């Protein structure tokens, strides 16, 4: 059984005034594009940020082991401003050694690692500039995975959405131009408006790209395909590799709310489709739990749904 933690490890802390708050123990540092363009960051500040962000993941690792976490989604902002500063990372032997060490930790503890580049990674765009920026973003994630020693297979998924609606042929064409380090890891996820499972299956037929089934998104855009059929059809796209799926819910009380309210991820998991739950219990799939409470939601889900680790 593998329920994935997405990008953070959160815990409740009590402030001096007695109030409680949820904090992310992975103290990831960010860099702002505007400040960078205004010359406010020197090279040392940038590379120190990169080292900090890798160090934070190494430091949190005992939490993953203690709680028997077997899948983890790596943040897409591990190296902010990488598109401008990639040379600093690629020329830093110490940083690359840390990435290799972190990757070795994941390997030795049999933890699957995936990533989910941001919403602006759109390889089906009508804009050549957007496509080129998207390819650079995908190459950034692939470079990190290469440095961590991960095999070039969808098991270590670089997962994106289809992007621009009704552009199946563009996805196919751009996919064929991608470097092997990206192409062999790329997966596509169904969304609510632009690419449902049926449409992604058409792309899969021409490319072999595995499909990450998101059960929450499917409720908004099923195109009359039952969830059971979607489950089996997307699972087949993975061949011998263990399928990756996503799970989230509408926040209780928002079921009759606006589209945005219904679409937003809940704090915890309250419902799992029967077939997805059975596959989780039988260790047939890995599932990214996209709940706002991150690991707290995963641990509660294990108890609530009688999921044995």
Say if pTM beats, i.e. exceeds, 0.85.
yes
Q: For residues 211 and 188, give the distance between their C-alpha atoms in angstroms, rounded to a whole number.
A: 5
Is 246 contained in some domain? no
Q: Is the pLDDT of residue 2 over 90?
A: no
Q: Is the pLDDT of residue 309 over 90?
A: no
Buried b (16+ CB within 10 A) or exposed e, 197-234: bbbbbebbeebebbbbbbbbbbebbbeebebeebbebb
Here the tokens at position 70 are 């077997």
Q: 181-199: per-residue pLDDT in tens?
A: 999 999 999 999 999 999 9
Is 55 contained in some domain? yes
Residue showing tokens 């976490």: 69
Is 241 contained in some domain? no
Is 114 contained in some domain? yes
34 pLDDT tier (thresholds 50, 70, 90): very high
Is 168 contained in some domain? yes
- Give the total number of structural domains in the chain: 1
Is 103 contained in some domain? yes
Is 3 contained in some domain? no
> Are the C-beta atoms of residues 200 and 190 closer than 8 Å to each other?
yes
Is 281 contained in some domain? no
Domain encompassing residue 189:
28-234+256-265
φ, ψ at 13 (rounded to 5°):
-125, 145
Element (H, E) at 289: strand 286-289
Least confident of 79-83, 104-108, 139-143, 219-223: 219-223
Give the CATH number of the domain where residue 98 resides: 3.20.20.150
Q: Is the pLDDT of residue 88 over 70?
A: yes
């Amino acid at each position: 059984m593998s329920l994935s933690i997405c990008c953070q490890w959160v815990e409740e802390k009590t402030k001096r005034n007695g109030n409680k708050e949820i904090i992310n123990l992975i103290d990831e540092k960010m860099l702002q594009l505007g400040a960078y363009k205004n010359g406010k960051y020197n090279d040392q500040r940038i590379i120190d940020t990169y080292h900090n962000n890798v160090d934070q993941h190494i430091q949190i690792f005992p939490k993953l082991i203690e709680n028997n976490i077997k899948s983890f989604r790596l943040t897409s902002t591990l190296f902010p401003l990488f598109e401008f500063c990639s040379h600093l990372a690629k020329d830093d032997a110490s940083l690359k050694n840390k990435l290799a060490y972190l990757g070795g930790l994941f390997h030795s503890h049999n933890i699957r690692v995936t990533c989910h580049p941001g919403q602006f990674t759109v390889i089906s765009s009508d804009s050549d500039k957007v496509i080129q920026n998207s390819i650079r973003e995908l190459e950034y994630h692939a470079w990190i995975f290469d440095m961590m020693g991960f095999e070039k297979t969808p098991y270590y998924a670089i997962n994106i959405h289809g992007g621009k609606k009704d552009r199946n042929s563009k996805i196919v064409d751009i996919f064929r131009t991608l470097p092997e380090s990206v192409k062999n890891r790329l997966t596509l996820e169904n969304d609510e408006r632009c690419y449902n499972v049926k449409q992604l299956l058409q792309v899969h037929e021409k490319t072999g790209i595995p499909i990450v089934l998101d059960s929450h998104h499917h409720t908004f855009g099923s195109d009359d395909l039952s969830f059971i059929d979607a489950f089996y059809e997307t699972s087949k796209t993975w061949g011998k590799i263990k399928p990756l799926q996503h799970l989230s819910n509408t926040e209780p009380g928002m079921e009759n709310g606006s589209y945005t309210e219904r679409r937003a991820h809940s704090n915890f998991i309250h419902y799992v489709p029967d077939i997805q739950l059975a596959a989780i219990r039988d260790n047939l799939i890995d599932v990214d739990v996209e709940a706002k409470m991150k690991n707290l939601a995963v641990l509660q889900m294990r108890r609530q749904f009688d999921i044995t680790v």
